[in-house]
Amino acid sequence: MMGLTSILLLLVATSTAAVLEHQLVWKESQMIQLIRNGEYPAYLDFRDRMVSARSSNLATVVQSATDYVYYEYMGNITVGTPDQNFIVVLDTGSANLLIPGTNCTTYCEKKRLFNEKESNTYIATNKPWQIKYASGDAYGTLGIDTVKIGGSFEPQLAIPNSYLGVADTVGSDFKWSPKEGIFGLAFTALAVDNITPPLINAINLGLLDQPIFTTWFGQRGAPGTSASGAFTYGALDKNHCGPVIGYVPLTNARHYQFQATGFSLGSYVSTTTYEVITDTATSFLCGPQAAIDGLAKAAGATWDRTNQVFNIPCNADAGPIKMKIGGFNYVIRANNYILQIDTNSCLFAAIPQSYAGFGPAWILGGPFMRQYCNVHDIGQKRVGFALSLQ
């Protein structure tokens, strides 16, 4: 008699359209681990030197991508036939799939490496690619193969003929990170080399019931504990999310970018309308210096110059951070904007970023995405939000 997992795998393999609930793996962000170990200032110095070197030679910058020390949620995928398993960052802030290949030696120690010679479905393009991250360059060759969302030991969504970057070199953050790759979930317009990302490929092939996916992040626990989460491809997540409060159209269909206004907390109120993105690979809120400073002061947080973060009493509660999106009011409660890093130390989960009028002014990361499920409606180029049922 077939088990439930076997039945689900058969359904995924034989259905023309499917829904997949993909369970996530939670790991505490590298940033918090580095702060706890007193190593974060050295990382900041390294990152700033990398950014400074690039800014002096703009012609070398291929793409400005995420600093992958902030993520906390990952998922399992496989590449090739038969399956080769990898654990990757599922990133709505980028659009390329990157995994290390057998030629990767630096920073790839103890990682599983993709062996294209062992895949019966791999197609070589012999085309080079390159992406510049805050922690260093990644480059290699583009290939085409079957990519499956979900590990070989769980239900999967198979996406044939998908582009992937097989890396010969990766950024230094791979050395200390549990991730073995990056799975970009944004639009083709954001992808390096204008390739079709695997998820967009799945939608183009009609593999999903609906051209949407829903993200749910469970509550973050105390240090030493784990958290849960799931991405539901092809449908709303009715197991973890309430009804959709409202949708807002995308203002730039590269990222999941839209407008928000009225950021406030306590006595601090901003009436400015900002361009905003949500980002599954960021565990903080990131925004303009003046706005973040105002929110931090209202929350009772103080600036830590050494680590360039805001410290806050663990029992603080100045009320919710409020904002308005698409005419609807949203809040982030204190249990989601205060991050505990050890028994008596907590961070205010908001950091300033410089955007100089280019790109989104705000990134709504983990604090917002734990408060609300995000419905990424790729077909209608809009995002919706539903209260997380937790």
How far CA 344 is from CA of 38, 100, 239, 318, in Å, comes to 16, 39, 34, 19
DSSP 172: T
Rg (CA), the chain: 20
Query: What is the sign of the dihedral through the CA atoms of 8, 146, 375 and 378?
Result: negative
Q: How far apart are CA 325 and CA 263, in angstroms?
A: 10
Q: Which of 371, 372, 362 is nearest to 291 (CA)?
A: 362
Catalytic residue among 67, 83, 173, 279: 279
For this structure, is 209 an active site residue?
Answer: no
Catalytic residue among 91, 145, 237, 377: 91
Q: Rounded to the nearest 5 degrees, what angle is found at the Cα of 173, between the Cα atoms of 169 and 177?
A: 110
- Do the beta carbons of residue 195 and residue 163 sit within 8 Å? yes
Q: How far apart are CA 255 and CA 280, in angstroms?
A: 12
How far CA 327 is from CA of 5, 150, 248, 333, in Å, comes to 42, 36, 9, 20
For this structure, is 293 an active site residue?
Answer: no
Q: How far apart are CA 196 and CA 88, in angstroms?
A: 18
Q: How far apart are CA 349 and CA 46, in angstroms?
A: 22
The pair of three-digit structure tokens given for residue 376, joined into one six-digit string: 């990424």
Q: How far apart are CA 263 and CA 271, in angstroms?
A: 7
Active-site residues: which are they? 91, 279
